[in-house]
Structure 1
Amino acid sequence: MGNPFILKEKQGSTQILRLNYPEAKNALIMDMRLELLQALEDAEQDDDIKCIILTGEGKGFSAGGDLAALKEVNPLEGRKRLQSSHPLMLKMLDIEKPIIAAVNGAAAGAGFSLTLLCDFILASEDAFFVQSFVNVGLIPDFAAMHFLPMLVGRQRSNELMFLGERVSAEDAHRIGIVNRVVSSEQLLSETIEIAEKLEKKATAAMGMTKKIMNEHLNKDLKNLLEMEAQGQDICFQTEDFKEGVQAFFEKRAPQFTGR
């Protein structure tokens, strides 16, 4: 058995979960998604755990989807990949314990989307966010089309999703994506400090607040997730997707044709 794709560390009543695939910039491969879901379910059942921190091992948070695996994926497999991740997304919203993202570098594509499923986002000064899907001929997934407009509005979301440009941690804070920006050296300690403050609150009431608010605000989320899987299914069949992935690995600008 190889190394785990999720590293777990308990500090007091806080469970720290680290995405652990640094050689691939913590790409969200399927095994990692399944391990993260299991880690969240374990934390949910542990009454000693009051708060969860999600961060990345190495120099970045997550580069998003595993393009190497998607390179040869057929449309049906691609759709099933997204659908198999729905339990993870819903668990992050349903678990009655706050999840804090400590973004320690690049949060790209689905890595960016993953942060939006968390209850708080702290970012290091050198972190950046990018909705990079359009750059490889795909649509945003991991529920970004639901949560990003909720945070920054439709026009700003269009800008981020259609242009696929990097947003610095400071700009992400300015437009309402990030709660706080801190130095790289202090990111984890400040995140733990917030977790410790949360642990001293009425955790049952806080958990119920999260549950009710998410159920109220996200009534159409399951429908969006299915539409997202269908839309990505279509994108996997396009020439633009094949060109986008090839250009990514060849480190050149893609030449899209709209087909």
Structure 2
Amino acid sequence: MNFTEIIYNCINEVVTITLNRPESLNALSITMAKEIIRAIEQARSDDNCKVVVITGSGRAFCAGGDIKAMKIGMSVAKARNYVLEIGRLILAMQDLEKPIIAAVNGYAMGAGFNVVLAADLIIAAKEAKFGQAFLQVGLAIDAGGSYFLPRTVGLVRAKELAFTGRIIDAEEALNMGLINKVVERERLEQEVYSLAAKLAQDPSQALGLTKMLINRGLSADLETALAYEALAQSVCMQTEDHKEGLAAFLEKRAPKFKGK
């Protein structure tokens, strides 16, 4: 599959999607959004892909929306389609029943910040910066920020970040619970792929269903969440990985899962 604004690689069961518009700090164009969606769909259908890593080329993860395209001007219809396409990207990330790790190598601003929040696990370089930079250009929050931000840091802190557009560094993001880990920039790749390799060894169907259950649990009542759990668990109990896990437990050895 050919891409022009991202790079797609699959090595050792880990797909890496690299946002590749470094001259614009990987600003999220409609083309890039569509290509990321296509890449996620490719990863979904590839049985050799167990984990997805999303990162950026150059000194940014993603600087947010495509300011140059906005400056040219968009009709109401075109603007709505652009934001909906970014929304489809966020939904694709959430719906993928494989873990997504965001490797935040630099600036993650506006929509770029919220793409990070749509990932399942987030590791940031010490130099990374985060900001809800929408109001500063006369825009409201998008890319799922209105959903993820208050659920992650609470209503009051979410409003502070959105209203002020204050830029925070990786350590503050970690302390707020926005990301999982901060590492030195030269160790970012090692840390991310070490985690990816570990996840790739997990029982992939159970892992994917766990992601689905947690995501759906955010908006489900308890009765619905319990029903989803029962359905997912009944599927897991039919898998070879479940049988292998039981055997390994009884034999007091490490399990060797095959994703089946």
TM-score scaled by structure 2? 0.81
Letter of the aligned partner of 1:167 in structure 2?
A: I
1:134-173 deviation digits (Å, cap 9, x = unpaired): 1111111001011011110011111100000101000000
1:167 is matched with which residue?
168
Alignment of 1:84-99 (within 5 A): 84-99=85-100
Alignment of 1:47-196 (within 5 A): 47-71=47-71, 72-196=73-197
Residue 4 of structure 1 deviates from its aligned partner by: 1.8
2:214 is matched with which residue?
213
| Aligned counterparts of 1:179 and 1:213: Cα–Cα separation in 2 | 17
2:11 is matched with which residue?
11
Letter of the aligned partner of 1:60 in structure 2?
A: A
Instruction: Sort the Cα spacing of 1:200 and 1:112 in 2 relative to 1 into closer, same or farther, 3 A.
Output: same
Letter of the aligned partner of 1:142 in structure 2?
A: A
Letter of the aligned partner of 1:177 in structure 2?
A: L
2:46 is matched with which residue?
46
> Aligned pair 1:23/2:23, yes or no?
yes
Secondary structure (helix, strand or coil) at the match of 1:61 reads: strand
| Aligned counterparts of 1:129 and 1:84: Cα–Cα separation in 2 | 22
1:191-250 deviation digits (Å, cap 9, x = unpaired): 00001111111211110011122123146xxxxxxxxxxxxxxxxxxxxxxxxxxxxxxx
| Aligned counterparts of 1:180 and 1:24: Cα–Cα separation in 2 | 26
1:197 is matched with which residue?
198
1:105-160 deviation digits (Å, cap 9, x = unpaired): 00000000100110001100000100000111111100101101111001111110
| Aligned counterparts of 2:179 and 2:127: Cα–Cα separation in 1 | 13
1:18-38 deviation digits (Å, cap 9, x = unpaired): 000000100000111111000
> Superposition RMSD on alpha carbons, in Å?
1.3
Instruction: Sort the Cα spacing of 1:218 and 1:21 in 2 relative to 1 into closer, same or farther, 3 A.
Output: farther
Instruction: Sort the Cα spacing of 1:3 and 1:201 in 2 relative to 1 into closer, same or farther, 3 A.
Output: closer
Further displaced range: 195-204 or 30-39: 195-204
TM-score scaled by structure 1? 0.82
| Aligned counterparts of 1:143 and 1:165: Cα–Cα separation in 2 | 18
Residue 84 of structure 1 deviates from its aligned partner by: 2.6
1:238 is matched with which residue?
none
Number of positions where the alignment pairs a residue of Structure 1 with one of Structure 2: 218
Residue 102 of structure 1 deviates from its aligned partner by: 0.3
Secondary structure (helix, strand or coil) at the match of 1:142 reads: coil
| Aligned counterparts of 1:144 and 1:127: Cα–Cα separation in 2 | 18
2:238 is matched with which residue?
none
Structure number with greater Rg is 2
1:52-94 deviation digits (Å, cap 9, x = unpaired): 0000011110101001111211222211211233322111001
Structure 2: any 5+ residue segments left out of the alignment? 221-260
Contact 2:125 2:184 in 1 (8 A): yes
Higher relative contact order (CA 8 A, sep 6+): 1
| Aligned counterparts of 1:140 and 1:117: Cα–Cα separation in 2 | 14
Structure 1: any 5+ residue segments left out of the alignment? 220-259
| Aligned counterparts of 2:124 and 2:143: Cα–Cα separation in 1 | 20
Secondary structure (helix, strand or coil) at the match of 2:63 reads: coil
Letter of the aligned partner of 2:32 in structure 1?
A: M
| Aligned counterparts of 1:122 and 1:179: Cα–Cα separation in 2 | 6
Residue 3 of structure 1 deviates from its aligned partner by: 6.8
